[in-house]
Amino acid sequence: MTKGTTGMQALLTAQFDTTAALSALTGEYHRLLQHCAAAAFARQMAESGPSAALAEAEVEEARVAALAEACALRIAELEQRLGAVSRDLETLL
């Protein structure tokens, strides 16, 4: 194999791996968004109940929102990585 072919193969592998990771993470993000909506609904329902239940619901809502935000940041990082790999592939073509 030539060095160019080896480099292209490595980039194609990186592109595939990054795309697969991005797909899995996007699915996780959508699951977290659903969990965020459920936690917000639970908090709204707890607003008319005991204050302890409301505090617990608020903590859960904040926890899930933080997880979703972290997931969104990881998705953005993977999208940037995928863009960089695509640009590198373009230079080899």
Tens-digit pLDDT profile for residues 35-79: 999 999 999 999 999 999 999 999 999 999 999 999 999 999 999
Domains of the chain are 3-92 (1.10.287)
| pLDDT for residue 20 is more than 60 | yes
How many angstroms separate the CA atoms of 53 and 69, rounded?
A: 24
| pLDDT for residue 15 is more than 60 | yes
Q: Is pLDDT larger for residue 50 or for residue 4?
A: 50
Contact 22, 75 (CB under 8 A): yes
In this prediction, residue 3 carries a pLDDT of 63
In this prediction, residue 92 carries a pLDDT of 85
Contact 59, 20 (CB under 8 A): no
